């Protein structure tokens, strides 16, 4: 019987043999540009992924979206039907526009592979496929059956795929999210802030700014008062952030503004703080006379908290990492992902992608030598037999 250390070494050796193929496949994924809001562009990428899963003897379902490119679901054709499930979750959409490659081409130099979507998160998709390939090649059987969902709308809030993610999360014992890790030291994401969006609209009264300004009620001035109150809600020690990121209002410089609005981004570390800040925003009242305040929105993505079951999964990862020489650390992300959703229903570990930097920035890259080690970690996690209590 092979020891855990021996199996870990076999996995790393197998992946090292595939290193060139892995990097070529990653570059191929990056070359297939796939903006969130360009669903037609995602077709070729989904075709490639579907082909690769079928080569692994996986059954696939492609669900097309109405406004997005939809999602791809895959599971082994041969499986033990009564065994528990584990979810591999990733997204193929990027924040980059079509033809970004013309100004930001794919490059590999100085141990970096760069290009739009390389880090966030086409390296993660590469890891999913090669982890499953490694299990097959080494004839290693995962007790928890791996099932895969890759969506095309994560960067715009998973507007059409969230229901599918929820359904899978409810029947899976754990979820591995292949988003990029945190920082250049590659910390795994064991907590993520919840995200809220609120719209504050002020209705005032128009009047001529020169002839009879006293007859008007300036919605912009009222909104400026509300903005100050919103900023007073920030509590950095608790991890509560409230940011007014967009303001609109007015018609003309010589008209007292009859309407103005603000879009507010809110981030919280736990569900209780989410409810607290939601109640506080909805309790806002007009400061000036003759104006009305309309408040809409809420917390759209609940926080991914460090729940006991999530921490069990983190400790498993930490132990598996030591088998291949990794000294893993955990971290908290200020951004959200589909891990926020899975964590509501099952044990979740996020940030299992490849170490690099520059998500959504024009220096986006991964460290090429980290692709093997992070894929090896994922493979070892898939082999873990612990069924986590929910």
Select from 241, 271, 301 the last residue of a domain: 301
Task: Identify whether residues 37 and 84 lie together within a single domain.
Answer: yes
pLDDT of residue 152: 98
**Would you say residue 389 lies in a domain?**
no
Query: pLDDT band at 227, cuts 50/70/90?
Result: very high
Whether 355 shows a pLDDT value over 80: the answer reads: yes
Whether 2 shows a pLDDT value over 90: the answer reads: no
Percent of the chain with pLDDT over 70: 100
Is residue 325 left, alpha or beta, with left meaning phi > 0 and alpha meaning psi from -120 to 50?
left
Whether 371 shows a pLDDT value over 80: the answer reads: yes
Whether 1 shows a pLDDT value over 90: the answer reads: no
Whether 130 shows a pLDDT value over 90: the answer reads: yes
- Which residues are CB-contacts of 155 (< 8 A; sequence separation ≥ 6)? 36, 91, 93, 94, 95
**Would you say residue 388 lies in a domain?**
no
- Which residues are CB-contacts of 380 (< 8 A; sequence separation ≥ 6)? 7, 8, 11, 320, 323, 324
Query: pLDDT band at 269, cuts 50/70/90?
Result: very high
Cβ atoms of 384 and 146 closer than 8 Å = no
Task: Identify whether residues 176 and 267 lie together within a single domain.
Answer: no
Select from 268, 301, 334 the last residue of a domain: 301
Q: How many domains does the chain have?
A: 2
Query: pLDDT band at 232, cuts 50/70/90?
Result: very high
pLDDT of residue 79: 82
Percent of the chain with pLDDT over 90: 97
Query: How many residues are given for the chain?
Result: 390
pLDDT of residue 289: 96
Q: Which domain holds residue 318?
A: 4-192+303-383
Select from 261, 279, 301 the last residue of a domain: 301
Task: Identify whether residues 81 and 210 lie together within a single domain.
Answer: no
Task: Identify whether residues 201 and 325 lie together within a single domain.
Answer: no
Higher pLDDT, 280 or 82: 280
Cβ atoms of 172 and 344 closer than 8 Å = no
Structure tokens at 278: 């939601």
Query: pLDDT band at 81, cuts 50/70/90?
Result: confident
Residue 165: name the closest of 350, 26, 40, 387 by CA: 350
Give me the CATH number covering residue 41.
3.40.630.10
């Amino acid at each position: 019987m092979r020891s855990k250390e021996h199996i870990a070494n076999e996995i790393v050796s197998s992946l090292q043999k595939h290193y060139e193929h892995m990097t070529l496949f990653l570059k191929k994924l990056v070359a297939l540009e796939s903006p969130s809001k360009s669903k037609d562009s995602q077709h070729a990428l989904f075709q490639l992924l579907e082909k690769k899963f079928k080569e692994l003897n996986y059954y696939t379902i492609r669900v097309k979206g109405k406004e997005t490119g939809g999602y791809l679901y895959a599971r082994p054709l041969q499986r033990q039907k009564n065994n528990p499930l584990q979810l591999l979750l990733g997204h193929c959409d990027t924040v980059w526009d079509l033809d970004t490659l013309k100004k930001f081409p794919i490059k590999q130099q100085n141990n970096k592979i760069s290009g739009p979507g390389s880090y966030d998160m086409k390296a993660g998709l590469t890891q999913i496929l090669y982890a499953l390939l490694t299990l097959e090649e080494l004839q290693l059987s995962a007790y928890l059956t791996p099932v895969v969902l890759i969506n095309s709308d994560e960067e715009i809030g998973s507007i059409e795929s969230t229901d599918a993610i929820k359904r899978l999360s409810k029947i899976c014992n754990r979820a591995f999210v292949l988003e990029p890790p945190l920082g250049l030291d590659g910390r795994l994401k064991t907590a993520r802030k919840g995200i809220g969006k609120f719209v504050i609209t002020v209705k005032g009264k128009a009047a001529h700014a020169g002839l009879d300004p006293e007859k008007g009620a300036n919605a912009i001035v009222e909104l400026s008062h509300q903005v100050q109150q919103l900023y007073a809600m920030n509590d950095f020690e608790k991890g509560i952030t409230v940011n007014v990121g967009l303001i609109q209002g007015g018609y003309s410089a010589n008209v007292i503004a009859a309407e103005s609005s603000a879009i507010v981004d809110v981030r919280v570390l736990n569900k209780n703080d989410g409810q607290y800040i939601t109640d506080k925003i909805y309790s806002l009242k007009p400061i000036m006379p003759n104006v009305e305040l309309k408040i809409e929105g809420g917390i759209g993505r609940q926080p991914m908290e460090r729940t006991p079951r999530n921490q069990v999964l983190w400790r498993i990862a930490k132990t598996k990492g030591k088998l291949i020489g990794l000294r893993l650390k955990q971290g908290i992300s200020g951004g959200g992902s589909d891990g926020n959703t899975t964590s509501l229903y099952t044990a979740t570990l996020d940030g299992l992608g490849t170490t690099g930097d520059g998500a959504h920035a024009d220096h986006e890259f991964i460290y090429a030598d980290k692709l093997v080690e992070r894929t090896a970690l994922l493979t070892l996690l898939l082999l873990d037999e612990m069924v986590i209590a929910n």
